[in-house]
Amino acid sequence: MSDGFDISQIQSIIDTGIPQCGDIGVKVAQLSDSGVVMMLPYDARFAGNPVNGILHGGIMTTLIDSASGMCIYVKLKKYIPIATLDLRIDYLKPATPGEDLYAHAYCYRMTKQIAFVRSVAYHSDPDDPVANSVSTFMLRSTPTKSLDVASKEMEAKNG
């Protein structure tokens, strides 16, 4: 992606700045001007019901919230501290056991202090969603160490 962003930078923020995402294996699949796609590999440990293997809603929430936050960086084309203010998720159907889960998030409006994001979680077809979400994020919240490192790396890369 242009403007100094690349998947490895966003992945580094995920792995070090959002430890639960690193622990569960969240990966950045795609960055574009239309947002971020993140992927969670299926893992039976995260089944809400071990008998049927359907993913727990909390795991899906982590993926959706993280993708939603990362898409703000893409929209701004810079790293700033952010915090989730509100996250509403409509669970449309159970996640299919054994299948990886994706979340595509995009920031559709931004004010000086608030970013507004929509996202959809799906398996292989974004037009057949497992869940959809709307959320708001506060801009310029308290910085984190991984965000500071990513900001300095991007500044050095862009001169």
Q: What does R_g of the chain's alpha carbons equal in angstroms?
A: 15
Element (H, E) at 74: helix 57-76
Element (H, E) at 143: none
Amino acid residing at 63? L
For 58-116, what is each residue's pLDDT tens digit? 999 999 999 999 999 889 888 888 999 999 999 999 999 999 999 999 999 999 999 99
92 contacts 125 by C-beta, under 8 angstroms: no
Q: Report the distance separating Cα 156 and Cα 17, nearest Å.
A: 20
80 contacts 17 by C-beta, under 8 angstroms: no
For the record, the structure tokens of 110 come out as 């931004």
Is residue 133's pLDDT more than 60? yes
The whole-number pLDDT of residue 1 equals: 44
Q: Got the DSSP string for 92-142?
A: -SPPPTTS-EEEEEEEEEE-SSEEEEEEEEESS-TTS-SEEEEEEEEES--
Q: What is the pTM of this model?
A: 0.84
Domains of the chain: 7-153 (3.10.129.10)
Q: Report the distance separating Cα 131 and Cα 20, nearest Å.
A: 20
CA distances from 86 to 14, 39, 55 (A): 20, 22, 22
